[in-house]
């Protein structure tokens, strides 16, 4: 993409404060898949080559990742699927986890009045999983190939095993992961090799998961929620103090919602509505940026980073108060995206100085009223596009592996406000709108996005990363649209994140020391991080599909 300006882009980026070594995207004429893990990428591409559409590939990839990427790929979690079809139709399937019926507002408040860690580790941390139901809904309504064909590759990967990469093996034996998984016998036996640990290249076989997937292959989601998988899952929960019951599983329903739509500099953006906070977030932040000329300072410059950070900070303040499950709380989307309100936010930014977060509060919307993860992107030969972000929340979820079933359970209950007004595991402050209620969906930051230019498919992207997801997706988008990078360079460029509270600007390595010094002089507290997010993106232009998986991971993009 834009080969004639590529050198200029790299030189501009270098002079403005980031280190970018140009990397070419993967190119193909017909179809493209970008995922976090190469076995899953191969599975999805094989589905497309054999006549399946993008929804079929999304289903097959989702189940394959539940085998090959246990830290986030899942049948024990949930997520979102965003699709834009070649005929212009769009849909958003919400298969996010839900609070069990026995959940209560103060279930994680200890005798001392403080929030406990029960929302992070163990059986009580899990919401009702939604992935199997959601992928089945997508397939039944929009898929083309037989369901069993799409699940079979995951069955084979689980039963025959696959060699663990260096990154997989290192992740499983890390101190944080191994300590959590060791607390639960099934997790220790399967994922820690019963305490002996795995080496790179060792084959991970998961026979219990293979049998679970075989049942789902043969009987569909009904088995997972009402059959031979549901019963032992509910019994395991009851035996260990978990809250999920057979009725919770039986009553779980995925929901089809209308995607959120917005525009920026002539580009149409299709993204996630509530209960995601991500779509509202990127649209509000882009609204604040539009027309300011912030991009003239260049990617990674102190001036551009400052303006973007201030827009981020203001959105996360609003997020803390106004975002929640739209089935339980009226999320004021129209007010948060009202041009006059966005203009007020823009005018409140001092172009030379950081606004201390304690000085900022959620906006007064009364005058404007009229809420560990992985991502994969797919474009098929017909021009259908799918963006899927799904999660167990933390890496390896609650660390609990369902007995006799072989899959890890989520710790998604921590995405609720266990104690409104106090920070959760990600440091996010959340309000009453996201307080725990039975059958409620916890607020998410997942931001699958599809972008059109002149009415035609242009970008498909998304990322994991908790609250950093919103800013990661935003930054890759503006790297392409505002800073003229090709899709690989846009994904590679160093990232930054501000979420209002705590009042710190988190920056990846790769920014110049001069940029960091200038930002400190503007009043920012800088904290350096190794990596933020892991984007899987596809760009469509001039008859070519260009794919990029994030070099921060072992991800791959492949097409034909």
Could you report the per-residue pLDDT of 300-349, keeping only the tens digit for each? 999 999 999 999 999 999 999 999 999 999 999 999 999 999 999 999 99
Residue 82 located in a structural domain: yes
Q: How many domains does the chain have?
A: 1
Q: Which of 18, 455, 411 is nearest to 183 (CA)?
A: 411
Say what the pLDDT of residue 17 is.
Answer: 67
- Residues 6 or more apart whose CB falls under 8 angstroms from that of 70 comprise 191, 396, 408
Q: Which of 443, 449, 428 is nearest to 535 (CA)?
A: 449
Residue 357 located in a structural domain: yes
Say what the pLDDT of residue 9 is.
Answer: 30
The pTM score is 0.94
CB 230 within 8 A of CB 246: yes
Say what the pLDDT of residue 276 is.
Answer: 97
Residue 523 located in a structural domain: yes
Of 131, 245, 271, 373, the catalytic one is 373
CATH number of the domain bearing residue 547? 3.60.20.40
The yes-or-no answer on residue 373 being catalytic is yes
Residue 479 located in a structural domain: yes
Residue 525 located in a structural domain: yes
Per-residue pLDDT of the chain (560 residues; tens, 9 = 90+): 333 332 233 323 444 566 555 899 999 999 999 999 999 999 999 999 999 999 999 999 999 999 999 999 999 999 999 999 999 999 999 999 999 999 999 999 999 998 899 999 999 999 999 999 999 999 999 999 999 999 999 999 999 999 999 999 999 999 999 999 999 999 999 999 999 999 999 999 999 999 999 999 999 999 999 999 999 999 999 999 999 999 999 999 999 999 999 999 999 999 999 999 999 999 999 999 999 999 999 999 999 999 999 999 999 999 999 999 999 999 999 999 999 999 999 999 999 999 999 888 887 665 554 327 899 999 999 999 999 999 999 999 999 999 999 999 999 999 999 888 787 766 777 888 999 999 999 999 999 999 999 999 999 999 999 999 999 999 999 999 999 999 999 999 999 999 999 999 999 999 999 999 999 999 999 999 999 999 999 999 999 999 999 999 999 999 99
Residue 532 located in a structural domain: yes
CB 446 within 8 A of CB 282: no
d(CA 283, CA 297): 22
d(CA 61, CA 156): 13
pLDDT digits (tens, 9 = 90+) for 341-388: 999 999 999 999 999 998 888 876 655 543 278 999 999 999 999 999
Residue 51 DSSP symbol: T
CB 299 within 8 A of CB 485: yes
- Residues 6 or more apart whose CB falls under 8 angstroms from that of 64 comprise 37, 39, 40, 43, 44, 73, 153, 154, 157
Tokens representing 522 are: 């503007």
CB 525 within 8 A of CB 354: no
Domain containing 382: what range? 1-92+254-388+414-555
Residue 158 located in a structural domain: no
Residue 447 DSSP symbol: -
| Cis status, amide bond into 46, omega within 30 of 0 | no
Residue 132 located in a structural domain: no
d(CA 511, CA 40): 32
CB 159 within 8 A of CB 210: yes
């Amino acid at each position: 993409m834009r080969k004639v300006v590529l050198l200029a882009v790299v030189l501009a980026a270098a002079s403005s404060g980031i280190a970018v070594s140009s990397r070419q995207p993967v190119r193909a004429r017909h179809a493209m898949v970008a995922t976090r893990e190469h076995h899953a990428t191969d599975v999805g591409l094989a589905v497309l080559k054999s006549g399946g559409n993008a929804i079929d590939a999304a289903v097959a990839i989702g189940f394959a990742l539940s085998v090959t990427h246990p830290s986030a790929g899942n049948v024990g979690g949930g997520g979102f699927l965003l699709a834009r079809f070649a005929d212009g139709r769009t849909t958003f399937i919400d298969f996010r986890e839900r609070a069990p019926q026995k959940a209560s507002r103060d279930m994680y408040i200890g005798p001392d009045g403080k929030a406990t860690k029960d929302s992070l580790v163990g059986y009580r941390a899990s919401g009702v999983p939604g992935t199997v139901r959601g992928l089945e809904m997508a397939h039944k309504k929009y898929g083309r190939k037989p369901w069993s064909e799409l699940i079979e590759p995951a069955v084979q990967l689980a039963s025959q095993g696959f060699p663990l990469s260096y990154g997989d093996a290192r992740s499983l034996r890390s101190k944080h992961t191994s300590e959590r998984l060791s607390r639960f016998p099934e997790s220790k036996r399967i994922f820690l090799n019963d305490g002996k640990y795995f080496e790179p290249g060792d084959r991970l076989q998961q026979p219990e998961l293979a049998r679970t997937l075989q049942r789902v292959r043969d009987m569909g989601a009904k088995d997972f929620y009402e059959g031979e998988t549901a019963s032992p899952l509910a019994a395991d929960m009851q035996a260990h103090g978990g809250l999920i019951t057979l009725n919770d599983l039986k009553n779980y329903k995925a929901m089809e919602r209308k995607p959120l739509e917005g525009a920026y500099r002539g580009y149409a953006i299709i993204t996630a509505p509530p209960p995601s906070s991500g779509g509202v977030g990127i649209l509000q932040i882009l609204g604040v940026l539009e027309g300011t000329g912030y991009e003239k300072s260049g990617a990674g410059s102190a001036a551009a980073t400052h303006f973007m950070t201030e827009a981020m900070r203001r959105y996360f303040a609003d997020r803390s108060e106004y975002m929640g499950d739209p089935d339980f709380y009226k999320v004021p989307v129209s007010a948060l995206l009202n041009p006059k309100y966005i203009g007020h936010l823009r005018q409140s930014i001092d172009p030379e100085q950081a606004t201390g977060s304690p000085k900022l509060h959620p906006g007064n919307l009364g005058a404007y009223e009229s809420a560990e993860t992985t991502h994969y992107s797919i474009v098929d030969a017909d021009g259908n596009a799918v963006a899927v972000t799904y999660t167990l929340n933390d890496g390896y979820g609650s660390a609990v592996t369902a007995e006799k079933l072989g899959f890890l359970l989520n710790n998604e209950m921590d995405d609720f406000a266990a104690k409104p007004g106090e920070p959760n595991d990600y440091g996010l402050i959340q309000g009453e709108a996201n307080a725990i209620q039975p059958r409620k969906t916890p607020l998410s930051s997942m931001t699958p996005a599809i972008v059109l230019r002149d009415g035609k498919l242009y970008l498909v992207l998304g990322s994991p990363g908790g609250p950093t997801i919103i800013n990661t997706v935003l930054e890759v988008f503006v790297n392409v649209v505002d800073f003229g990078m090709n899709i690989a360079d846009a994904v590679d460029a160093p990232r930054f994140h501000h979420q209002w509270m705590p009042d710190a600007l988190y920056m990846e390595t790769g920014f110049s020391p001069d940029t960091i010094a200038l930002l400190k002089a503007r009043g920012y507290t800088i904290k350096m991080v190794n990596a933020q997010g892991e984007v899987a993106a596809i760009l469509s232009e001039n008859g070519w599909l260009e794919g990029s998986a994030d070099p921060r991971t072992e991800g791959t993009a492949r097409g034909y």
